[in-house]
Amino acid sequence: MNMTFRWYGRGNDTVTLENIKQIPGVKGIVWALHQKPAGEIWGKEEIKEEIDYIHSYGFHTDVVESVNVHESIKLGNEERDQYIENYKQSIRNLGEYGVKVICYNFMPIFDWTRTEMFHPLEDGSTALFFEKSKVDNIDPQELVKTVSESSDLSLPGWEPERMAHIAELFEAYKEVDEAKLWANLAYFLNEILPVAEEAGIKMAIHPDDPPYSIFGLPRIITGEASYEKLIAISNSSSNGFTMCTGSMGANPENDMVQVARKYATRSPFSHIRNIKIYESGNFTETSHYTSDGSIDIKGVVEELNKQNYDGYVRPDHGRHIWGEVCRPGYGLYDRALGIMYLLGLWDAFETNKEDSQ
Ligand code: DNO
């Protein structure tokens, strides 16, 4: 388990590399050129500048999250080939600077979606929250109208750039059902995977969050069946997954211990975090501690330990605790606690293993 921490870059994050340096066990920074619009080539100089800065703190820069996929690629329209060429060039450039894993997702229009960023928890902290009925009851047509006409209706995590084109995007996605989205993903993968292999990079697709269709848009990376389909598209060693316990685990039918058992070797990168799921389908983010949520974090780490997992791991979506003011889900304190829990579990399982030998 190679422990890492996601960082949004200088001037773009309340957490500093000095802060992260003081969390025991962190070896690398999960980074990105966050200002880069989806579809543009990541230039060598800008890559070098960022990684030199991160290296100066003694961290590795092996994992990038994310190189975002342009909407044309997901839609499969005539502009996609140009954007795929750009993506390939970014892969080559990142490979040249030693990057090993690129995390990406294939969610139409919206990345992760929550209805509340600072939902109060019983312990007095706040956390991200998803109210299923609220999302279910939003009529996509109304959504487009309201977002286009005013900025009154906006759910957290929606970027203004994308929202500016929301009407066109929804219109374009009318032609794209799940089967078409899969075909567009396959087209993209078959183009980029040979380049990734040559660059020494593993592509690691992130599951959809939450792992089901929202606003009538297709979502396809939702559980084990999706993983099997991905493997069927290409058995390339660069065709990898980001195992995210909180995203995929938001559907209680996904047993994340079993997912870890079956797919850890195909997951060069893991996001390990907990959520508490209610019967209504609502879920709230919690501390990483197994007893606080619905995901068997201890079981997942045990499984990874059994397999001597040497992939990159990061905690994710902390609560906002001790009065910290930060990016929602991305403060210092609770993610640091999460790391100590994950490393503690790992050490204990490691000792058990030695004892039983
Ligand atoms: C949320 C994250 C996602 C993730 C991307 C991966 O906080 O887990 O934004 O980085 O979906 O491409």
Q: Which of 18-22, 27-31, 130-134, 332-336 is least confident?
A: 130-134
- pLDDT bracket for residue 152 (50, 70, 90): low
The rounded Å distance from CA 356 to ligand 1 centre is 38
Angle at the Cα of 30 from the Cα atoms of 49 and 97, rounded to 5 degrees = 40
Q: Report the pLDDT value the prediction gives residue 192, as an integer from 0 to 100.
A: 98
Respond yes or no: is residue 70 known to be catalytic.
no
Q: Is the CB of 208 under 6 A from ligand 1?
A: no
Rounded Cα gap, residues 269 and 254, in angstroms: 18
Q: Is the CB of 105 under 6 A from ligand 1?
A: yes
Q: Report the pLDDT value the prediction gives residue 148, as an integer from 0 to 100.
A: 74
Mean pLDDT of the chain: 95
Statement: residue 155 has pLDDT above 80: no
Statement: residue 156 has pLDDT above 60: no
| For residues 258-272, average pLDDT | 98
The per-residue pLDDT for range 57-111, each reduced to its tens digit, is 999 999 999 999 999 999 999 999 999 999 999 999 999 999 999 999 999 998 8
Q: Report the pLDDT value the prediction gives residue 139, as an integer from 0 to 100.
A: 85
What percent of the chain has pLDDT above 70? 97
| For residues 8-15, average pLDDT | 96
The rounded Å distance from CA 35 to ligand 1 centre is 15
Catalytic residue selected from 209, 296, 316, 334: 316
Q: Report the pLDDT value the prediction gives residue 145, as an integer from 0 to 100.
A: 79
- pLDDT bracket for residue 153 (50, 70, 90): low
- pLDDT bracket for residue 354 (50, 70, 90): confident
The per-residue pLDDT for range 206-233, each reduced to its tens digit, is 999 999 999 999 999 999 999 999 999 9
Atom 2 of ligand 1, nearest CA residue: 112
* Mutation choice for ligand 1 from 87, 130, 209, 317, CB with most ligand atoms inside 8 A: 209
Query: C-alpha distances in angstroms, 193 versus 2, 28, 188, 230?
Result: 24, 24, 8, 12
Statement: residue 315 has pLDDT above 90: yes
Catalytic residue selected from 173, 227, 244, 320: 244
Q: Report the pLDDT value the prediction gives residue 92, as an integer from 0 to 100.
A: 98
The per-residue pLDDT for range 105-136, each reduced to its tens digit, is 999 998 899 999 999 999 999 999 999 999 99
Respond yes or no: is residue 330 known to be catalytic.
yes
Rounded Cα gap, residues 24 and 29, in angstroms: 13
- Closest ligand 1 atom to Cα of 105: 12
| For residues 167-194, average pLDDT | 96
Q: Report the pLDDT value the prediction gives residue 7, as an integer from 0 to 100.
A: 98
Smallest Cα–Cα separation from 329: which of 267, 247, 249? 247
Q: Is the CB of 206 under 6 A from ligand 1?
A: yes
The per-residue pLDDT for range 244-253, each reduced to its tens digit, is 999 999 999 9
SS3 readout for the chain? CEEEEECCCCCCCCCCHHHHHCCCCCCEEEECCCCCCCCCCCCHHHHHHHHHHHHCCCCECCEEECCCCCHHHHHCCCCHHHHHHHHHHHHHHHHHCCCCEEEECCCCCCCCCCCEEEEECCCCCEEEEECHHHHHCCCHHHHHHHHHHCCCCCCCCCCHHHHCCHHHHHHHHCCCCHHHHHHHHHHHHHHHHHHHHHHCCEEEECCCCCCCCECCECCCCCCHHHHHHHHHHCCCCCEEEEEEHHHHCCCCCCCHHHHHHHHHHHCCEEEECCEEECCCCCEEECCCCHHHCCCCHHHHHHHHHHCCCCCEEEECCCCECCCCCCCCCCCCHHHHHHHHHHHHHHHHHHHHHHHCC
CATH architecture of 2-356: Alpha-Beta Barrel (3.20)
Respond yes or no: is residue 60 known to be catalytic.
no
- Closest ligand 1 atom to Cα of 6: 10
Statement: residue 166 has pLDDT above 80: yes
The rounded Å distance from CA 277 to ligand 1 centre is 19
Respond yes or no: is residue 278 known to be catalytic.
no
Q: Report the pLDDT value the prediction gives residue 157, as an integer from 0 to 100.
A: 58
216: its two tokens: 């009538």
Statement: residue 294 has pLDDT above 60: yes
Q: Report the pLDDT value the prediction gives residue 355, as an integer from 0 to 100.
A: 85
| For residues 236-246, average pLDDT | 98
Q: Is pTM beyond 0.75 here?
A: yes
| Segments making up each domain of the chain, as ranges | 2-356
Q: Report the pLDDT value the prediction gives residue 147, as an integer from 0 to 100.
A: 77
Neighbours of 341 (CB within 10 A): 20
- pLDDT bracket for residue 302 (50, 70, 90): very high
Neighbours of 158 (CB within 10 A): 17
The rounded Å distance from CA 355 to ligand 1 centre is 38
Respond yes or no: is residue 271 known to be catalytic.
yes
